[in-house]
């Protein structure tokens, strides 16, 4: 304990001076920034302009005359943003003398060119009724589904679309089953089978035997 006593006394002696020096340095870095934000063309004060310190979640807005005031640090970057104007930024000088700084910030209009708009005269009642009656309304999903599910469309799709893997597998199994059923004997002829003739007539009416491109 006696060995640590000189260090404790030294720290107790120099600590207030060190804290005071840090406080003086911090106090010298604080700047009261105030000013006015105006339009560059008419020098009119802009209200509700956002004045934010870059990298910090801290800022303020201008009043109805465009005047603002905020506490910043030397070296901070201040961003000015407003809807309809190009953003601006300023940097607080690090070698600024004193703790106050004023600025007059001019904002330039952010011009946006929209595509040309053609204004036509309002149509007459007869023209409106004619266009309304002859307007082509696109089909909704329910109407398209109904058209794709009618008998004619299903026949066209069945004749034109290729079979998928499941249908091809079932067809191969049926052919293998027929061969296994007549294995060792001559297969029967369906020329006198009325059910086979009925299926043939239905297929002929559907156009299954037509030449496909």
Count of beta carbons in the 10 Å neighbourhood of residue 38: 19
Same-domain pairing of 137 and 101: no
Residue 90 burial (10 A CB sphere; 0-12, 13-18, 19+): middle
From residue 1, give the alpha-carbon distance in Å to each of 5, 6, 8, 13, 180. 6, 10, 10, 18, 106
Q: Are strands 77-81 and 67-73 parallel, antiparallel or unpaired?
A: unpaired
From residue 177, give the alpha-carbon distance in Å to each of 168, 173, 174, 184. 14, 6, 5, 14
In the chain, the percentage of residues whose pLDDT exceeds 90 is 26
pLDDT band at residue 3 using 50, 70 and 90 as cut-offs: low
Same-domain pairing of 135 and 105: no
If you average pLDDT over residues 106-120, what whole number do you get?
Answer: 84
Is 47 a member of any domain? yes
**pTM exceeding the 0.85 threshold for the entire prediction:** no
| Per-residue pLDDT tens over the stretch 46-96 | 999 999 999 988 999 999 999 999 999 999 999 999 988 999 999 999 888
Is 185 a member of any domain? yes
Is 149 a member of any domain? yes
Same-domain pairing of 101 and 143: no
**CB contact at 8 A, 68 and 60:** yes
**CB contact at 8 A, 54 and 76:** yes
Q: What is the pLDDT of residue 154?
A: 82
**CB contact at 8 A, 80 and 107:** yes
Answer yes or no: is pLDDT of 107 > 90: yes
Is 2 a member of any domain? no
Q: What is the pLDDT of residue 186?
A: 72
* Residues spanned by the domain of 63: 40-112
Is 132 a member of any domain? yes
Same-domain pairing of 105 and 133: no
Final residue of a structural domain among 112, 133, 156: 112
Same-domain pairing of 107 and 137: no
Q: What is the pLDDT of residue 144?
A: 86
Q: Tell me, what CATH number does 78's domain have?
A: 2.60.40.1120
Q: What is the pLDDT of residue 20?
A: 45
Please provide the average confidence, as pLDDT, over all residues in the chain: 81
Same-domain pairing of 132 and 197: yes
If you average pLDDT over residues 169-188, what whole number do you get?
Answer: 80
Is 1 a member of any domain? no
Q: What is the pLDDT of residue 128?
A: 85
Is the pLDDT higher at 7 or at 75? 75
Q: How far is C-alpha 199 from the chain's CA centre?
A: 57
Q: What is the pLDDT of residue 99?
A: 87
Same-domain pairing of 92 and 163: no
Total domain count for the chain? Answer: 2
Is the pLDDT higher at 75 or at 180? 75
CA–CA dist 189, 39 (Å, integer): 98
């Amino acid at each position: 304990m006696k060995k640590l006593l000189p260090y404790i006394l030294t720290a107790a002696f120099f600590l207030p001076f060190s804290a005071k020096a840090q406080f003086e340095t911090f106090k010298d870095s604080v700047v009261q920034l105030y000013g006015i934000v105006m339009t560059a063309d008419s020098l009119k004060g802009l209200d509700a302009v956002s004045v934010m310190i870059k990298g910090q979640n801290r800022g303020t807005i201008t009043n109805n005359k465009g005047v603002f005031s905020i506490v910043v640090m030397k070296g901070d970057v201040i961003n000015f943003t407003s809807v309809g104007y190009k953003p601006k930024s300023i940097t607080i000088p690090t070698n600024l003398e004193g703790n106050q700084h004023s600025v007059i910030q001019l904002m330039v209009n952010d011009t946006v060119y929209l595509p040309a708009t053609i204004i036509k005269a309002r149509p007459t009642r007869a023209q409106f009724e004619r266009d309304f009656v002859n307007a082509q309304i696109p089909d909704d999903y329910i109407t398209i589904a109904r058209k794709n599910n009618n008998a004619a469309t299903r026949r066209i799709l069945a004749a034109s679309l290729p079979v998928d893997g499941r249908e091809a597998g079932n067809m191969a199994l049926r052919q293998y089953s027929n061969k296994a059923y007549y294995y060792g004997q001559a297969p029967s002829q369906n020329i006198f089978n009325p059910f086979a003739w009925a299926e043939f007539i239905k297929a002929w009416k559907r156009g299954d035997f037509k030449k496909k491109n």
